[in-house]
């Protein structure tokens, strides 16, 4: 069995009081409508976010050369069901941490996004977590590379050990 972790938990603290959360929105690339639905009620609060991040997603995207100067990128995020399963596991774990005595002693309480985003589901069920992922997941572009390096006998390798892109002359990827 592979013993490497599948998830990484990240913690971010942001003040929604300073500049009305503009920095927070920019940091997480949240559009105004979603921001207001989720964080509007907490506008004058300090917020700490616990975020599960996929370290080894199973979903695979594609990068295609359109011509000698342009590429077409199809990230295909969350196209594999195991990615949803792992994120749901991570969200449940985060919610469990927030409800520990240590977090409560620090005065931290979970916010209730179900009343803003996923009120058509029963809170904390698999369909609820899936809804939250669909509404709020974003790509952070870290913890994984853009393409796999490997030898000629590795069918998943995009670049060779010299960083040359297989099947394309005079192109290297440095990530």
Query: 11 vs 46, which has greater pLDDT?
Result: 11
Residue 69: both structure tokens together = 């100067």
Kindly report, residue by residue over 111-124, the tens digit of the pLDDT: 665 456 787 888 88
The residue count of the chain comes to 175
How many whole angstroms separate alpha carbon 164 and alpha carbon 10?
A: 33
pTM of the predicted model as reported, rounded to 2 decimal places: 0.73
Q: What is the CA radius of gyration of the chain?
A: 20
Q: What is the 8-class DSSP label of residue 140? A: -
The two beta strands, 71-74 and 62-65, are antiparallel
Residue 20: the pLDDT is 64
Per-residue burial over 33-44, b = 16 or more CB atoms within 10 Å of its CB, e = otherwise = eebebbbeeeee
């Amino acid at each position: 069995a592979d013993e490497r972790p599948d998830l990484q938990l990240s913690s971010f603290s942001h003040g929604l009081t300073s500049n009305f959360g503009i920095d927070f929105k920019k940091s997480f690339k949240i559009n105004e409508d979603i921001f207001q639905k989720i964080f509007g009620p907490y506008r004058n609060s300090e917020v700490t976010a616990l975020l599960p991040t996929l370290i080894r997603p199973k979903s695979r995207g594609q990068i295609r050369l359109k011509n000698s100067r342009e590429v077409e990128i199809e990230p295909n995020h969350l196209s594999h069901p195991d990615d949803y399963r792992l994120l749901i596991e991570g969200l449940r774990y985060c919610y469990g941490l927030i409800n520990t005595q240590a977090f409560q002693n620090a005065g931290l309480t979970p916010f209730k996004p179900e009343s803003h985003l996923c009120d058509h589901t029963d809170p904390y069920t698999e369909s609820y977590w899936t809804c939250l992922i669909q509404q709020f997941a974003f790509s952070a572009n870290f913890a994984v590379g853009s393409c796999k390096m490997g030898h000629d006998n590795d069918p998943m390798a995009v670049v060779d050990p010299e960083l040359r892109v297989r099947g394309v002359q005079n192109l290297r990827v440095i990530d």
